């Protein structure tokens, strides 16, 4: 008796899958027909021969059919080498209308004055910190005008409650490079064959490096708008003060042999 029940169950499952396959092919053929019609191509649709078995509809089968419908659409798009524009971005609206529902919210930034704002946590070890305060009147930075240095230079930062410019900004990481008479590349007095296989050199400077003078090339204010996708990332810091300070000058050659 038990064997008979098992056999019956297997047969029902088999015929159900065959029936679903036939249903799926019908829907795929219909989608193909609609796509060709949109392109001006008229092609008679011939359904793939399949055995159709009447099977009582159940919620499980209905869910399976819906999933196969979605898979069929994706399969056809992949076969034609196309992906819908609406599926590429986070906005699911017509990108050609540029109406209010398509244009995103205007980016807004914090207006707290310098010294009164709450600092942002660094995204990772030695990451350039975000600017937490209003930058109105401070940008753009010019050769003769850098308002950032008025509060962030190491000698004044503690009294201003600001993050001091790290030591890495008072150094040059550019190796002294020359070309020998034989055409060899010479870095820091040593001929090298692979110019990328070279430890970063550190030449300390008595002033802010010109390469680090334009603060806004790495540091930017944080938008206060709601993110389109929730960010659950939590950074891990190796150093004790990694959240609040930079030790890049000491770790820049970590892992380099």
Is pLDDT of 84 > 80? no
pLDDT higher at 81 or 180 = 180
Stronger pLDDT, 203 or 17, i.e. the higher one: 203
Question: Which pLDDT does position 28 carry in this prediction?
Answer: 58
pLDDT of residue 96: 74
Q: Quick one: pLDDT band at residue 166, thresholds 50, 70, 90?
A: very high
pLDDT at 173: 92
Average pLDDT over residues 148-156: 94
- The band of 235, judged by pLDDT with boundaries at 50, 70 and 90, is confident
- Among the residues of 39-156, which ranges form H helices? 59-79, 149-152
Mean pLDDT for all residues in the chain: 76
Cβ 191 vs Cβ 224: under 8 Å? no
Backbone angles phi, psi at 172, to 5 degrees: -110, 130
**For the segment 3-60, what is each residue's pLDDT rounded down to a tens digit?**
555 555 544 455 555 454 555 566 656 766 766 665 565 555 455 554 444 445 556 5
Q: At what angle do helices 59-79 and 2-38 cross, to 10 degrees?
A: 40
Nearest-angstrom CA–CA distance, 12 and 156 = 81
225 — pLDDT class (breaks 50, 70, 90): confident
Range name among 75-84, 91-100, 235-244 with the lowest pLDDT average: 75-84
Which CATH number is associated with domain 108-257?
1.10.1130.10
Residues in contact with 51: Cβ distance below 8 Å, sequence separation at least 6, in sequence order: 15, 18, 19, 22
pTM score, two decimals? 0.58
pLDDT at site 252: 87
Give the start-to-end residue ranges of the domains of the chain: 2-87, 108-257
Percent of the chain scoring above 70 in pLDDT? 61
The confidence score (pLDDT) of residue 215 equals 95
Which residues, 6+ apart, have CB-to-CB distance to 109 below 8 Å? 134, 135, 221, 222, 223, 224
């Amino acid at each position: 008796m038990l064997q008979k029940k098992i056999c019956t169950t297997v047969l029902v499952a088999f015929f159900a899958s065959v029936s679903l396959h036939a249903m799926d092919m019908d829907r795929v053929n219909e989608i193909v027909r609609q796509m060709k019609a949109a392109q001006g191509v008229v092609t008679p649709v011939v359904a793939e021969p399949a055995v159709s078995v009447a099977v009582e509809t159940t919620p499980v089968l209905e869910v399976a059919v819906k999933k196969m419908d979605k898979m069929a659409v994706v399969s056809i798009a992949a076969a034609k080498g196309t992906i819908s524009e609406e599926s590429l971005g986070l906005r699911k609206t017509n990108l050609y209308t540029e109406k209010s529902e398509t244009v995103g919210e205007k980016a807004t930034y914090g207006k707290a004055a310098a010294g009164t704002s709450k600092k942002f946590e660094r995204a990772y070890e030695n990451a350039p910190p975000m600017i937490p305060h209003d930058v109105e009147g401070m940008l753009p930075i010019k050769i003769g005008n850098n308002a950032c240095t008025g509060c962030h230079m190491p000698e004044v930062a503690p009294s201003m409650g600001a993050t001091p410019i790290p030591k890495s900004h008072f150094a040059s990481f550019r190796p002294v490079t020359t070309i020998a008479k034989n055409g060899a590349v010479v870095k820091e007095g040593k001929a090298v064959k692979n110019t990328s296989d070279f430890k970063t050199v550190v030449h300390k400077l008595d002033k802010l490096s010109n390469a680090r003078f334009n603060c806004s090339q790495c540091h930017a204010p944080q938008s206060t708008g709601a993110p389109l996708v929730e960010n659950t990332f939590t950074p891990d810091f190796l150093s004790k003060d990694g959240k609040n300070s930079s030790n890049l000058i000491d770790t820049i050659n970590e892992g380099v042999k």
